[in-house]
Amino acid sequence: MSILIKGGTVVNATGAVAADVLVDGEKIVALLAPGFPLQADETIDATGKYVIPGGIDGHTHMEMPFGGTFSADSFETGTIAAAWGGTTTIIDFAVQVKGTSLLSTLDKWHGKADGNCAIDYGFHMIVSDVNDTSLKEMESCVDAGVNTFKMFMAYPGVFYATDGEILRAMQKARETGSTIMMHAENGIAIDQLVAQALAQGRTDPVEHGLTRPAELEGEATSRAITLAKVTGSPLYIVHLSAAQALDAVTKARDTGQNVFAETCPQYLYLSLEDLAKPDFEGSKYVASPPLRPKEHQTELWRGLRTNDLSVVSTDHCPFCFKDQKELGRGDFSKIPNGMPGVEHRIDLLHQGVVKGEISLERWVEICSTTPARMFGLHPRKGVVTPGADADIVVYDPSATQVISAATHHMNVDYSAYEGMEITGKVDTVLSRGRVVVDAGGFHGAPGHGKFLSRELNQYLV
């Protein structure tokens, strides 16, 4: 089965060019001069549209256990929503429960995902129990294509790792060439602030933000960078939200240390004001780190331009407003942490192009090319070029749409961006040569998505 995508502008991180794209089977086989005479089984008209590599969302949580419940998207519903939004690869977090092994955790996550994903997927591993066995098992994870390990400086008693445990895992990361991903918030200090707030009767969702000050993200980020420096481990700061944390990352990168960071659309577009919405509406915006005062957004956009922030992932972790966020009414600390977003990352970041915050090429780089290289998928993914997987999005930059829970495909009863007007819209999506989304709807299938055994981080110096 061959497909010719005609008349579009192919946008890669390296530049934009008018070209037709020939797909044969699962692969891109040629970029052709516009109008090159060639017959294919199917033709897609991309006139006036961008032809970009499918999005790679390096941070999702499908069916994630948290706070006595599970995030609301399954691998099936979450990957279908991702496809609708132009994302053709997700990397989801397998979660080690204390007292269990990393390899059984990996099996468990394969059990949830295999045969159910509509797009390709890989895993990161959350290490919440550092001991001799799990450290040894990190080697087997790397061999199994999972070479990125998330650790938490937050959530004492659940996922939290001490500095000593982090140091030991980082030593193993250094030894295996893998990368430590860090949730950098000082959870010990935060827990005290949370207890004090509750003791004073401050129970509303906004307190989630007020008890997790930006300084404690900056401090933890600096500490993680220091531990990475001492051990020689690569470090990737996940869901960076605060200017103080960005400052620490920028300084480390200026010295040439292997430190990288991602931010998320919610930190670029939403703020503490959303957390402060009345009638428990603020609970929709509870995630950690919390939404920050608006001033931080300017710094984050700057970081995206300077590449001190290299990636935008969603941290998609949806909990329904009606029955899940509700668990924390009267006690903000019991609101399940996380927000939906896997469907809207490409559109939201395109607003950065529309507003002149980032270039067209940078948009593609942040959403696809850099995650492909960071997570060992390049050049199979992240670029429209012969030999790459035909994960392709035809994107209409002049179409408009309004984000709403009434029209989104995520399995969650609200949108964090309800009513937001977007310039640009996904037109057609190919996942390994199969048209999975077009004007006629969704044509993919759960089980089409394959597990991606990943190479090491390609940015390490």
Note the residues at the interface with Zn ion (CB under 5 A).
Answer: 183, 315, 438, 440
Binds 337: which of Zn ion, ligand URP, none (CB < 5-8 Å by kind)? ligand URP
Per rule CB under 6 A, count of chain residues that contact ligand URP: 9
Q: Answer positive or negative: Cα dihedral of 208, 209, 210, 215.
A: positive
Work out whether 244 is an interface residue with ligand URP (CB under 6 A): no
Nearest to 315 by CA among 111, 71, 29: 71
Closer Cβ to ligand URP, 233 or 288, answer by number: 288
Q: Is 337 in the site for ligand URP (CB under 6 A)?
A: yes
Q: How far is the CB of 138 from ligand URP (least distance, A)?
A: 20
- Residue number closest to ligand URP, CB atom: 337
| Interaction of residue 222 with ligand URP, rule CB under 6 A | no
> Which of 12, 105, 283, 288 forms a contact with ligand URP (CB under 6 A)?
288
Interface pick for ligand URP out of 57, 274, 299, 315 (rule CB under 6 A): 315
| Pick 266 or 351: Cβ nearer ligand URP | 266
Partner touching 204 among ligand URP, Zn ion, none, CB below 5 to 8 Å by kind: none
User: Which entry of Zn ion, ligand URP, none binds 88, CB below 5 to 8 A by partner kind?
Assistant: none
Q: Least distance to ligand URP from the beta carbon of 324, Å?
A: 12
Identity of the residue, 266 or 369, whose beta carbon is nearer to Zn ion in the bound complex: 266
- Least CB distance to ligand URP at residue 34 (A): 43
Cα(215)–Cα(221) distance, integer angstroms: 10
Residue with smaller CB distance to ligand URP, 120 or 315: 315
Q: Does 212 bind ligand URP (CB under 6 A)?
A: no
Q: How far is the CB of 6 from Zn ion (least distance, A)?
A: 17
CB of 100 to ligand URP, least distance (A): 18
89 contacts ligand URP (rule: CB under 6 A): no
What are the backbone dihedrals phi and psi of residue 121, each rounded to the nearest 5 degrees, phi first? -150, 150
* Contact flag: residue 180 with ligand URP (CB under 6 A): no
Q: State the SS3 of the chain.
A: CEEEEECCEEEECCEEEECEEEEECCEEEEEECCCCCCCCCEEEECCCCEEEECEEEEEECCCCEECCEECCCCHHHHHHHHHHCCEEEEEEEEECCCCCCHHHHHHHHHHHHCCCCCCEEEEEEECCCCCHHHHHHHHHHHHCCCCEEEEECCCCCCCECCHHHHHHHHHHHHHHCCEEEEECCCHHHHHHHHHHHHHCCCCCCHHHHHCCCHHHHHHHHHHHHHHHHHHCCCEEECCCCCHHHHHHHHHHHHCCCCEEEEECHHHHHCCHHHHCCCCCHHHHHCCCCCCCCCHHHHHHHHHHHHCCCCEECCCECCCCCCCCHHHHCCCHHHCCCCECCCCCHHHHHHHHHHCCCCCHHHHHHHHHHHHHHHCCCCCCCCCCCCCCECCEEEEEEEEEEECCCCCCCCCCCCCCCCCCEEEEEEEEEEECCEEEEECCEECCCCCCCCECCCCCCCCCC
Q: Say whether residue 221 binds ligand URP (CB under 6 A).
A: no
Q: Which two tokens stand for residue 210?
A: 């007020």
Q: How far is the CB of 183 from ligand URP (least distance, A)?
A: 5
Q: Give the total residue count for the chain.
A: 461
Nearer to ligand URP, 149 or 363 (CB): 149
- Which residue, 221, 135, 240, is CA-closest to 178? 135
Per-residue binding letters, 6-45, with ligand URP (x by CB under 6 A): ----------------------------------------
C-alpha triplet 380, 237, 307: angle, nearest 5°: 65
Task: Based on the shown chain and the rule CB under 6 A, indicate whether residue 61 belongs to the binding site for ligand URP.
Answer: yes
Binding of residue 317 to ligand URP (CB under 6 A): yes
Q: 247 is in the binding site of which of Zn ion, ligand URP, none (Cβ under 5 to 8 A by kind)?
A: none
User: Of 296, 309, 314, 302, whose CA–CA distance to 358 is shortest?
Assistant: 302
Work out which of 124, 168, 183, 350 binds ligand URP, going by CB under 6 A.
Answer: 183
- State which of residues 261, 287, 394, 452 lies at the interface with ligand URP (CB under 6 A): 287
37 binds, among ligand URP, Zn ion, none (CB under 5 to 8 A by kind): none
220/353 with CB nearer Zn ion: 220
Binding-site partner at residue 440 among Zn ion, ligand URP, none, CB < 5 to 8 Å by type: Zn ion
In the bound state with ligand URP, the residue whose beta carbon lies nearer, of 10 and 317, is 317
In the block, which residue shows the tokens 């939004």?
Answer: 85
Q: Which residues bind ligand URP (CB under 6 A)?
A: 61, 183, 239, 287-288, 315, 317, 337-338
